[in-house]
Structure 1
Amino acid sequence: MTRLPAHVDIREVGPRDGFQNEPETIATADKIDLINRLARTGLRRIEVASFVRPEVIPQLSDGVEVLHGVDVPDDVSLMVLVPNSKGLDNALKVRETFSEVAIFVSASETHNKKNVNRTIAESMADNDVIAKRIVAEDLRCAAVIATSYGCPFEGKVPMNRVLDIAEQFAAAGATEVGFGDTTGMANPAYVGEFFAAAIERLPGVEVTAHFHNTRGQGLANAYAALQAGCTSFESSFGELGGCPVPVGSTGNIASEDLISMFHEMGVSTGVSLPAIIDAARAAQAVLGRKLTSHSIVAGPIDWAPTPGAPACH
């Protein structure tokens, strides 16, 4: 039996990856309140804003206001995402509000073209420049590769193509590379093989798993990555998120469901499960609709039976 790690790190991406996929814009004050709640759950990494053109993702057009408005503990690291050099220029105007920057590309030519209107080569040429600028600013550079396990337009994405891109990111200065299951096409068997190869190919680089639950395999994929040696994960409270490019691409795995699974297996996250469930329920109230997280409904597992409760089978 594979020996599991004692601890994993989780980055909460709901305030960026989740909020950007909502059909309506969430009020800035509500965003700030939810981020402040998340920052007091024990999470140490939160992605909070994206410096894309407001007309492209209006849901995140208040990123500067959010960054200036949040009040998080000193040991919580905030991340912003930039799509290109212009986005980094805008982000650096509020350099003091964050400590990490994410850059990205799709491993599928078709998805990358539909997402950012560039070829992979064009995106990577810009990313090479951006990464070096991020490092020069003494900021942590994290790279994300979308459609790492499959593309809804092209089908299977070759593993070597994904890992070649990851090595290019690392050479440019990225100390972390995340592999995104952007439209929920991964399966546990492939994930185990993929992360074993990624960890071998990227020594000294933090290898991060980012799964969506579009087809209900998100937690199974996270477990497969864990067994392969991955100890860094991204997730979204309330199972918020998705991908705006293909129709039907629903949210990321719920942070509270992922944390619940890890804790039940004896793997520490440093996050209070009741506190992050409360934060997800607060998001549900703000959005005015039921979210798809299981833990919002069921709550944490309580191993002590309630006296007098009827037996269930």
Structure 2
Amino acid sequence: MKLVECPRDAMQGLAHFVPTALKIEYLNTLLQVGFDTLDFGSFVSPKAIPQMRDTADVLAGLNVAATKTRLLAIVANVRGAEQAVTYEPIRYVGFPLSVSETFQQRNTNKAIAQAFTDVAAIQELCQRKRKELVVYLSMGFGNPYGDTYSPELVRDFTAQLVQMGVGIISPSDTIGTSTPEAIETLFRHLISEFPTIEFGAHLHARPGEAPDKVRAALRAGVQRIDGALRGFGGCPMAADELTGNLPTEEIIQTLTASGISLVINKEALQKAMTLSAGVF
């Protein structure tokens, strides 16, 4: 099981700016926990996401030599990807592709058709620079805008990405609308139809909902799950009221109770939990 910790997602919507030195301290602690991947920052417009304007400076302060955790950076266009791939420590480049036309415009200021063009260019760039592209299918479980949605639409988007050679795809419950039944149904169908693809679950949840959502993803065969300590976060472009990420500590508890063995540095995890109070 691959655990992806997402402090970038947790921090991006905060009203206060988290000082660069504190970000570095927090992220370096997370790098010692034992996560597969750390979604640490983003190369996007500082006007759109001011919290992430120091991503390059933060990266320079990370102790990547002392960890097996791989770094992921989010981008919203080709220019951001061109920045991200220049940094050797970054293994993954993440791009939010929405199945909702309204949200694609809100999130990246472009239409879905243009976003697919960007994905193709970013995928080619990643292949040349030996990075891996992770495409997040935002609004993958419904949206509040009245746009057309169906599991078949998510499947069609996935098929187009597979044709481009994208190997990691994460349907995303951007505003917490998914149910365990919907999670299990969607992932079962996707994993069955596209067995060579690594599917991730990037889910948001209200308090108390996370364990059932994690168990649903497990039943479907998902082997990659995103979370954030204490369930902080949510997409500031999606709604006025943020719905938090799955709390990482609850993911760990649920996986362990389900018999899945995880190699976690409990001391580092506890330190990160303590530090998070000062960050958020």
1:283 maps to a residue whose letter is S
Match for residue 88 of structure 1 among 81, 87, 96: 81
Normalised to the residue count of structure 1, the TM-score between the two structures is 0.85
Give a deviation string over 1:200-238, Cα, whole Å, max 9, x none.
122211110111113742321121010111111011112
Q: Does 1:38 align with 2:7?
A: no
- Asked if the contact 2:138–2:173 (Cα under 8 Å) also holds between the matched residues in 1, the reply is yes
Q: Does 1:220 align with 2:206?
A: no
Match for residue 225 of structure 2 among 233, 241, 256: 233
- Asked if the contact 1:237–1:276 (Cα under 8 Å) also holds between the matched residues in 2, the reply is no
Cα distance change, pair 155–218 in 1 and its aligned pair in 2 (3 A): farther
- Asked if the contact 1:184–1:218 (Cα under 8 Å) also holds between the matched residues in 2, the reply is no
Counterpart in 1 of 2:248? Answer: 255
C-alpha separation in 2, matches of 1:58 and 1:165: 30
- Asked if the contact 1:259–1:273 (Cα under 8 Å) also holds between the matched residues in 2, the reply is no
> How far is 1:247 from its partner?
1.5
Match for residue 113 of structure 1 among 86, 105, 118: 105
SS in 1 for 2:88: helix
C-alpha separation in 1, matches of 2:39 and 2:132: 13
Moved over 3 A (4+): 272-275
SS in 2 for 1:21: coil
Match for residue 136 of structure 2 among 140, 144, 150: 144
Q: Does 1:281 align with 2:259?
A: no
Alignment of 1:1-313 (within 5 A): 8-14=1-7, 16-72=8-64, 73-92=66-85, 94-154=86-146, 157-214=149-206, 216-245=208-237, 246-273=239-266, 275-287=268-280
> How far is 1:155 from its partner?
6.4
Cα distance change, pair 185–274 in 1 and its aligned pair in 2 (3 A): farther
- Asked if the contact 2:122–2:133 (Cα under 8 Å) also holds between the matched residues in 1, the reply is no
In the alignment of these two chains, the number of paired residues is 278
The structure number with the bigger radius of gyration is 1
> How far is 1:50 from its partner?
0.5
1:25 maps to a residue whose letter is F
Give a deviation string over 1:3-45, Cα, whole Å, max 9, x none.
xxxxx1111112x111101111101111111111111111121
Normalised to the residue count of structure 2, the TM-score between the two structures is 0.94
> How far is 1:74 from its partner?
4.3
> How far is 1:274 from its partner?
5.1
SS in 2 for 1:185: coil
C-alpha separation in 1, matches of 2:110 and 2:126: 21
C-alpha separation in 2, matches of 1:145 and 1:193: 16
SS in 1 for 2:149: coil
2:99 maps to a residue whose letter is A
- Asked if the contact 1:132–1:173 (Cα under 8 Å) also holds between the matched residues in 2, the reply is no
Aligned residues: CA RMSD: 1.6
Percent identical: 28
